[in-house]
Amino acid sequence: MAPDNAVVHAFLPHQGRFHRSATGVPRRALSVMKPAMLRLKLVAIVSTVMSLQLPVPVQRLCAFLFGLALLALHGCSNNPYPKSEHRASILYRSFSDDPKTLDPSVCYVALEIVGLIYPSFYQYHYLKRDPLVLELDLGAEEPERRPIPVTVAQDGRTIRRQGEEWTFRIKSGLRFQDDPCFPGGKGREITAEDFLFAFRRMADPSVGSPVVSFFEDKILGFAELVQQNRKRLDAGQPADYTTPIPGLQALDRYTFRIRLNQPYPQLRYLMATWFTAPQAWEAVARYGKEYARHPVGCGPYRLAEYQSRRRIVLERNPNYRVEYYPSEGAPGDREAGLLEDAGKRLPMIERIVYSFMREPITGWNLFQQGYFDEWSVNRVNYSQVISPTGGLSPEMTRKGIQLERETKPNISYFAFNMEDPVFGGYTPRKRKLRQAISLALDAQQLLDIFYQGNGTRAEFLIPPGLFGYESDYRNPYRQADLEKARQKLAEAGYPGGIDPKTGERLTLYYENPYTTPGGRQFLGTIQKQIEALGIQVIPQTSRFPVWYEKIKKGKYQLYDYNWLADYPDAENFVFLLYGPNKIEGGPNTSRYDNPEYNRLFERMRTMDDTPERMQIIRQMRQIAVEDCPWIYLYHTADLNIHYDWLRNVKPHPVALNTSKYYRLDAERRARLRTEWNRPNYWPAIGLVAFLVLGSLPAAQVVRNRSSRRVRRAGTEAE
């Protein structure tokens, strides 16, 4: 459900994470010697110049420039971090946009930070893949899940059907981080109530949680609670956090129970997200609105410093539960050295410093100097990092850089507004119109130009690696073919893009939030591709919130976005086209509504991954592909690089707390960084020398002139 901000931000100010850090240059004998010798030489040059008996201004100028040069020699270092951090165990990363909030009930971006501060009942096993494995994080044992009969009101009738009851038991002795909001400033013990508190916050409309719709129609009594809270909000009253509701119950200090009016297997996954992480009511009460910038959690790290658009610092949380590095992994992990730290206490790095980087080149250069520990491979640095054969380039290998490929379950797409009078609708002509545009868009070209070919062209919603994806399926309308596209357009009644009724060219308004140069380039390419059909494309660029607003309200014709799964289940993708989700603010922003698709979705959502479920997904695919509400573009893969002083790096498609497994060889980093960043003084010295020596002949001229003038006793005014 989280829109994939990482991908959107590829075109917003800058992409990538940060890297790490630095320290003052250690004063080794050699580095002291060098400037000292330089100084000697400078003195020699200057004294030669002085011996020429220069006029006073020139001498003064020389002295000044000399002073500047000396100053420069002394303090030069390109290390952006304080000396005290030189050998410290600090992971250096970047962020390019302020996280709007660190409130786990609300947060979309900066998930990594939130993931590290707020652990949940479950977490993903760090090393295991295919399939991804959930393991207990704060949970003490696997939840007990049993069917219960429930009565629900549907279409005005009361019906009985099968619901579910989940009983969760958490570990005892877990404590929140120390924070002034607790009595005595000591983090108190976490209880079942703190988990339920997180659910109650979702039901509070003033919090504005984006996932309330996930639970609203499922947890017993939740919808009524939300309704009631909305009314209270309108009346200016605070939301209700006390009245018990049947769906959420604490059985004892460490046990809570969730009752649902339908089977909901995905709840397991949701219990691994930050939305369901325990929260302290004391913190919410104390910090109010500031809670968004003052998170109080119980994870491996806690927030130490938050300076908007400058720095975010996380430090190790001493109250974190005892957790050890996993001792088993996927095949090949042992050989890759990923199990060397098995059994060590987590987390292994003391601090994580995120520096704000607006300019992508600056960040990339800082990475190359060793001041960030990780960086993402993007279109700017791709050809420098990756060799033509697809591996790391020799330059990067020499520096001890390692490459990780990470495939997150995601999809990038274009969506039509199905309620638009021109491009929406379900008649064969409208379908053909959309199919024509779909045929004109060459996703491979976009993938090549904007992602360096890293990814797979999408044929349908479900990305590779998830149940429901079929690699041999070909969507007939996603094989770029301009001829076929033109033909479809003619069949739709717009031969050559001209509406025969009015004689006007068809125009398509494309809503987008892309203001950066990279974004403009994307717009230009899309425009070029669709305009080849004869349809005129008018990009409408607005700021992100305004754009988001328009999309939510359905005031658009075409927009593009991407979706990143919150949990690895096909349901998290196909629900994007589920009719009832087309409400304002709901996930179905294209407002597609096909009763047959909806019916099939309702059947598959609660099923396990069986061949029967696969069959249903195929049927849904057939329907959605023909209706063509979306143009599926691609599933991108992320390439990340990091230095070899950072160990245990294994990208995880879903988990966000992976930094706690990292280990850092700070000694090695300090040594290499110093080695790579010795300043080069010669050009500066050369410039000074040039200026000084270059003005000597002129000095002579002026001296001659002024002595001449003295002789003429000032009779000649210049």
Q: Smallest distance, Å, CB 502 to other proteins?
A: 10
Compare residues 81 and 423 and give the one whose CB is closer to other proteins: 81
431 vs 284, 462, 623, 680, CA distance in Å?
A: 50, 22, 12, 64
State the Cα–Cα distance between residues 567 and 656, nearest whole angstrom: 12
Compare residues 322 and 713 and give the one whose CB is closer to other proteins: 713
State the Cα–Cα distance between residues 459 and 477, nearest whole angstrom: 9
Compare residues 256 and 522 and give the one whose CB is closer to other proteins: 522
Q: Smallest distance, Å, CB 375 to other proteins?
A: 11
Q: Smallest distance, Å, CB 365 to other proteins?
A: 5
Compare residues 64 and 473 and give the one whose CB is closer to other proteins: 64
Give the containing element (helix H, strand E) for 632: strand 630-636
One-letter amino acid at 668 equals R
Kind of pairing between the strands at 255-260 and 248-252:
antiparallel
Q: Is the dihedral of CA 211, 188, 139, 337 positive or negative?
A: positive
**Neighbour order of strands in the sheet with 139-154:** 139-154, 157-170, 255-260, 248-252
* Residue of 511, 514, 513 whose CA lies nearest to 537: 511
Compare residues 340 and 504 and give the one whose CB is closer to other proteins: 504
Burial (0-12, 13-18, 19+ Cβ within 10 Å), 677: middle
* 242: Cα separation from own chain's centroid: 36
Q: Smallest distance, Å, CB 61 to other proteins?
A: 5
Compare residues 267 and 386 and give the one whose CB is closer to other proteins: 386
Three-class SS state of 562: strand
Q: Smallest distance, Å, CB 39 to other proteins?
A: 16
Phi, then psi, of 563 in degrees rounded to 5: -130, 130
Residues with Cβ within 8 Å of residue 217, at least 6 apart in sequence:
223, 261
* 45: Cα separation from own chain's centroid: 54
Q: Is the dihedral of CA 601, 602, 608, 611 positive or negative?
A: negative
* Residue of 525, 541, 574, 424 whose CA lies nearest to 550: 541
Rounded to 10 degrees, what is the CA torsion of 299, 302, 308, 310? -110
Compare residues 166 and 548 and give the one whose CB is closer to other proteins: 548
Compare residues 595 and 694 and give the one whose CB is closer to other proteins: 694
State the Cα–Cα distance between residues 233 and 256, nearest whole angstrom: 28
Q: Smallest distance, Å, CB 545 to other proteins?
A: 4
Compare residues 187 and 587 and give the one whose CB is closer to other proteins: 587
State the Cα–Cα distance between residues 628 and 416, nearest whole angstrom: 9
Q: At what angle do helices 682-711 and 29-51 cross, to 10 degrees?
A: 10
DSSP character string of 386-425: B-TTSSB-HHHHHTTEEEEEE--SEEEEEEE-TT-TTT--
Q: Smallest distance, Å, CB 528 to other proteins?
A: 6
Residues with Cβ within 8 Å of residue 128, at least 6 apart in sequence:
328, 329, 330
Q: Smallest distance, Å, CB 718 to other proteins?
A: 7
The tokens of 380 are what?
A: 């700017």
Q: Smallest distance, Å, CB 254 to other proteins?
A: 35
Compare residues 66 and 325 and give the one whose CB is closer to other proteins: 66
Q: Smallest distance, Å, CB 578 to other proteins?
A: 21
Q: Smallest distance, Å, CB 323 to other proteins?
A: 33
Rounded to 10 degrees, what is the CA torsion of 37, 41, 42, 45? 180
Compare residues 399 and 709 and give the one whose CB is closer to other proteins: 709
Q: Smallest distance, Å, CB 538 to other proteins?
A: 10
Compare residues 257 and 457 and give the one whose CB is closer to other proteins: 457
Q: Smallest distance, Å, CB 288 to other proteins?
A: 12
Q: Smallest distance, Å, CB 445 to other proteins?
A: 6
Helix (DSSP H) and strand (DSSP E) numbers for the chain = 22, 22
Compare residues 36 and 63 and give the one whose CB is closer to other proteins: 63
State the Cα–Cα distance between residues 276 and 237, nearest whole angstrom: 25
Contact indicator for 276, 566 with CB cutoff of 8 Å:
no
Q: Smallest distance, Å, CB 535 to other proteins?
A: 11
Give the containing element (helix H, strand E) for 271: none
State the Cα–Cα distance between residues 481 and 443, nearest whole angstrom: 11
Three-class SS state of 335: coil
Q: Smallest distance, Å, CB 107 to other proteins?
A: 12
Compare residues 142 and 359 and give the one whose CB is closer to other proteins: 359
Contact indicator for 121, 275 with CB cutoff of 8 Å:
no
State the Cα–Cα distance between residues 5 and 15, nearest whole angstrom: 10
State the Cα–Cα distance between residues 200 and 278, nearest whole angstrom: 11
State the Cα–Cα distance between residues 345 and 349, nearest whole angstrom: 11
Compare residues 144 and 549 and give the one whose CB is closer to other proteins: 549
Q: Smallest distance, Å, CB 230 to other proteins?
A: 11
Compare residues 345 and 528 and give the one whose CB is closer to other proteins: 528
For the chain, how many residues are written?
Answer: 718
The tokens of 304 are what?
A: 């130490």
Compare residues 186 and 358 and give the one whose CB is closer to other proteins: 358
Contact indicator for 113, 314 with CB cutoff of 8 Å:
yes
Q: Smallest distance, Å, CB 359 to other proteins?
A: 6
Compare residues 45 and 446 and give the one whose CB is closer to other proteins: 446
Phi, then psi, of 490 in degrees rounded to 5: -65, -40
Angle at 293 between CA 115 and CA 275, to 5 degrees: 35
